[in-house]
Amino acid sequence: MPPADDLGFIHKFIPAKTDESQPVTLLLLHGTGGDENDLLSLGDELWPGAARLGVRGKVLENGMPRFFRRISEGVFDIEDLKFRTEELARFIKAASERYDFRTEKLIAVGYSNGANIAASLMLLRPGYLASVVLFRVMMPFTPDSIPDFRNLPVFIGAADRDPIVPRSQPQELAEVFKSGGADVTLFWHRGGHELGEDDVEAARKWLAELKFRKKAEA
């Protein structure tokens, strides 16, 4: 299926290959310089047969797509981040109607910049996602209040030797999610900012244990 851009974002939707009446959909959010195709194969590794929705960020930094502006590496333009997060939320609603998927079965999988906007989406619009897998995520901003994250499963894939994301960042975000009642798994990759096979395997096993997946397959 070719990319589409009539819902506000260039994106690619691949329908589920499963007999489930209400299949899971993975919302795939790339890192800086990626596009709607970048995480499609990762999504298939993480949850074979799930529907996949790859989205391209609308902000360009030196010609490279991102989901929001930054002032410098590690310093976010918070006003733009919140504006772009609301744009993404509207896109998700429109896409769910276009492609007939339920947000109660929507899992965001984000890497780096994509993970950051997914985390922002959870802080600003916590009811939009059933779960999140966040690779190399930073604390997007400090919320004024902690949303109710009860029944929210969160996987954070951090790295011991990440030159971009300090160890304190994913740890701080994990504590924010936990303080709202989320069930958080924090996995440490023994390497840098790149995604490792151990990350993928840990996330795949974690997704296989999700309670709502087991209910759907029962």
d(CA 109, CA 106): 10
CB 138 within 8 A of CB 159: no
Q: Can you spell out the DSSP letters for 92-149?
A: HHHHHHHHT--GGGEEEEEETHHHHHHHHHHHH-GGG-SEEEEES-------SS----
CB 109 within 8 A of CB 137: no
Q: Is 112 a catalytic residue?
A: yes
Instruction: Give the SS3 label for residue 130.
Output: coil
Q: Is 162 a catalytic residue?
A: yes
Q: Is 189 a catalytic residue?
A: no
Instruction: Give the SS3 label for residue 173.
Output: helix
The catalytic position among 11, 38, 112, 199 is 112
The catalytic position among 120, 162, 189, 199 is 162
Q: How many CB atoms are located within 10 Å of the residue 70 CB?
A: 18
The catalytic position among 80, 183, 193, 198 is 193
Q: Which residues are catalytic?
A: 112, 162, 193
